[in-house]
Structure 1
Amino acid sequence: MNFTIVDAQMRKDEEGALVGSTVFEVEGHKAAYEITFYSKKGKEWDYSLNYAKESGIEAEFLSVDAKLEEDDEWFDELLEAAQSKLAE
């Protein structure tokens, strides 16, 4: 399963926590996805996976969610895309 990053962003909120997101498309999937990130200190990350625009096929969504849970490289690449936007 391959993905392409479409957009990414990250900022610090008023309390200094990091809040960001990465929009990406998965090869062969109907819909694009958005993963949002949150971390109080920039070390441990909470995330949420959603459709970026319109809903897609549930089985495809579940396969992406499972891939994120199993593959640290996928998660890290999506997180790094968002983190790279913090300094801009």
Structure 2
Amino acid sequence: MKTDIIRADMTRDEAGSYLGHTVFRLEGHEAAYEITLFSKKGKEWDYALNFAEESGDEEQFLRADSLIEEDDELFDRLLDAALEMQEESTEDKSGQ
């Protein structure tokens, strides 16, 4: 399924925990979604899915959540988008 990444971010705190967000749109879905990603050490990830802006169709939301749960490639794409932003942020700080 075609996925458009709108924006993403990731932070890592002093304890090594990660917190990130990826806003995206799925082909055929009216609303954009925001996935919040969390991991204590960057190995096992938890997530929460929400509408990015206004609420949308609940059936589409439930399909999106099921798709993320079942499609490892989609989940990894959303996670990688956030991790790449964290890496860019780290590079920007070290390059100053």
TM class by shorter chain equals over 0.9
TM-score normalised over the length of structure 2? 0.87
Q: Matched residues, percent identical?
A: 57
Structure with bigger RCO (C-alpha 8 Å, 6+ apart): 1
* Number of equivalences: 88
Bigger helix share: 2
Q: Which residue of 1 aligns with 2:29?
A: 29
Q: Which residue of 2 aligns with 1:3?
A: 3
Shift of 1:29: 1.2
- SS of the aligned residue for 1:84 comes to helix
TM-score normalised over the length of structure 1? 0.94
| 1:36-75 correspondence to structure 2 within 5 Å | 36-75=36-75
- SS of the aligned residue for 2:15 comes to coil
Q: Aligned Cα RMSD in Å? A: 0.9
Shift of 1:18: 0.5
Q: Structure 1: which 5+ residue stretches go unaligned?
A: none
Structure 1 outlier segments of 4+, above 4 Å: none
Q: Structure 2: which 5+ residue stretches go unaligned?
A: 90-96
Shift of 1:81: 0.3
